[in-house]
Amino acid sequence: MRGILRPDFQYEMLQDIQAEDLQANGIKGLILDLDNTITPWNDRTLTEDVIAWFKKMNDAGIKACIVSNNRGPERVSAVADVLEILYVYRAKKPQKKAFLRGIRVLDIPESEVAVIGDQLFTDVFGGNKLGLKTILVSPIAQREFHGTKVLRFLERLAGRKAKYTRR
């Protein structure tokens, strides 16, 4: 993984990311992918530890916003409502405007925003194009949208070995 596809930070799962580490890097806002980052693909299931992680971020003063390529708001808003965070749907990542919409919703300077996601070609690539800090996590589950399976193949060609955190 080189250049535009290289994340600034990499963690096994979302819950491994500590608020203190984000704050030490000047991060006050997060743009998060939904599918296979927060929940399994096409699922509304939230684990208690994910809910607790978002509460810790909020308690630390770190704002969060889901930026998802989902076409409809129903599932994105359902998850965002439980987590008590903002969201953007039909984002069209990795286009810059998708991330700019998230930044606008967060109302935080770009220099204080990081992108967290499980995909190199949408989350990391899109965030890096804007000069945002990027954080790559392993996908939660193997079940994915068919288009994502193609991107996973390209990720392997770029040198990424995806691990899954839940079966």
- The pLDDT value given to residue 41: 80
Ranges of H-type helices in 73-145: 73-83, 96-106, 125-129
Instruction: Please check whether residue 128 lies inside any domain of the structure.
Output: yes
Q: Which domain holds residue 34?
A: 3-157
* Dist CA 37 CA 42 (whole Å): 11
Q: Model pTM greater than 0.85?
A: yes
Instruction: Please check whether residue 165 lies inside any domain of the structure.
Output: no
- pLDDT digit string, tens, across residues 136-158: 998 886 656 666 655 655 566 66
Instruction: Please check whether residue 121 lies inside any domain of the structure.
Output: yes
- pLDDT digit string, tens, across residues 50-106: 999 999 999 999 999 999 999 999 999 999 999 999 999 999 999 999 999 999 999
Q: Which residue has the higher pLDDT, 152 or 113?
A: 113
Instruction: Please check whether residue 91 lies inside any domain of the structure.
Output: yes
Give me the sheet containing 113-117, strands edge to edge. 9-11, 133-137, 113-117, 29-32, 63-67, 86-88
Domain CATH code at residue 8: 3.40.50.1000
Instruction: Please check whether residue 38 lies inside any domain of the structure.
Output: yes
Instruction: Please check whether residue 138 lies inside any domain of the structure.
Output: yes
What's the mean pLDDT in 7-36? 96
- The pLDDT value given to residue 27: 98
Instruction: Please check whether residue 162 lies inside any domain of the structure.
Output: no
Residue pointed to by tokens 């939660």:
140
Host H or E run for residue 59: helix 48-59
Alpha carbon 101 to its chain's center? 14
Instruction: Please check whether residue 55 lies inside any domain of the structure.
Output: yes
Q: What is the CA radius of gyration of the chain?
A: 14
* Dist CA 92 CA 51 (whole Å): 26
Domain total for the chain? 1
Q: Choose among 56, 46, 48: nearest CA to 79.
A: 46
Q: Choose among 120, 166, 119, 115: nearest CA to 143.
A: 166
